[in-house]
Amino acid sequence: MIYIGKKLVSLIIVLFFASIVCFLIIHFIPGDPAEAMAGPGVSKEDVEMLRVSMGLDKPLIEQYTTWIGNIILHGDFGKSLTSKEPVADLMGERFVNTLILAACGIFLAIIIGIPLGIISAIKQNSVIDLITMGFSILGVSMPIFWVSLILILVFSVNLKLLPATGSGTILHLILPSIAIGLNSMAVIARMTRSSILEVLRQDYIRTADAKGMSYRTVIIKHALRNAMIPIITTIGIQFGYLLGGAVLTETVFVYPGIGRLLVNSRNRRDYTTVQGCMLVITGLFVILNTVIDLLYHFLDPRIKNI
């Protein structure tokens, strides 16, 4: 319980500082949101009135405490400066869409990346290992937006097998999921390979092998289980990155997620919506890392004493 309590306290502290950073980044960006909202040809008096109505005339500390207080107490992220709708309502459905897309991407990365890493470790320095690791390096190197465009060109434009844009069906998720999950799959495969190779050098693996256990049992029951901590860490971090990487994927595939909302709001200087999107994405990333830390305790009880 002490270990869990420390992690929860750390979570609250990190979320607090993350909220400050999200708030300050928006306010330090050059440009005046009031002027952007007012448009060209508006008098300085009208701009000042708009600034007062938006609360931008108050000190930053007061603006922050009001903003974070409304979020904590009421779940109120404010109203969009462009559509005048509550930011929470704008993010609601789009956040679910992004979560589904990221989950599909990490699922593909796991079911392909872990087996590839295991095979590559078992066949170390073989042709299969070289091909697998070469594919992993290629996956890490290719930008998400470039992969997205290639997938659209091949499967939508040329083969006409899958829709290029939009949402609503499973078919709409296939190409974005592949595009967003390819990089994570390569990272997970490389981490799985290195972790398995490290475990295979341990004495207890040689002992299990000497007892006559099948190689499959040694790999799955002993090696993979003890190699899971760095793999799970990588999966958790990659899932957080997928939420951020979804910004590019959603823009290319015109997918209605929170990443696309963030880009559109930034272009319109809708700073309240941008703040809300940034805080939600950052908060989820921090929570994911805390959950991963708590999983360590169940995978290896020795960690609770650290």
Residue 160 β-bridge partners: none
Q: What is the pLDDT of residues 161-211, one digit of tens each?
A: 888 888 878 888 999 999 989 989 999 999 999 988 888 777 777 777 677
Contact 148, 176 (CB under 8 A): yes
Q: Cα(25)–Cα(22) distance, rounded to whole angstroms?
A: 5
pLDDT, position 305: 53
Low-confidence ranges of the chain (pLDDT < 50): none
pLDDT, position 281: 86
pLDDT, position 155: 92
29: tokens are: 């960006």
pLDDT, position 284: 86
Q: What is the pLDDT of residues 251-272, one digit of tens each?
A: 888 888 888 888 888 877 788 8
pLDDT, position 152: 92
User: Taking the model in full, what pTM does it have?
Assistant: 0.80
Residue of 177, 195, 181 lying closest to 109 (CA atoms): 181
Computed on alpha carbons and rounded to an integer, the radius of gyration of the chain in Å comes to 24
Cα–Cα separations (whole angstroms), residue 219 to 173, 210, 225: 33, 14, 9
Cα–Cα separations (whole angstroms), residue 137 to 48, 89, 130: 54, 40, 10
Q: Cα(235)–Cα(244) distance, rounded to whole angstroms?
A: 14
Q: Cα(56)–Cα(50) distance, rounded to whole angstroms?
A: 9
CATH topology of domain 93-261: MetI-like fold (1.10.3720)
pLDDT, position 37: 65
pLDDT, position 301: 60
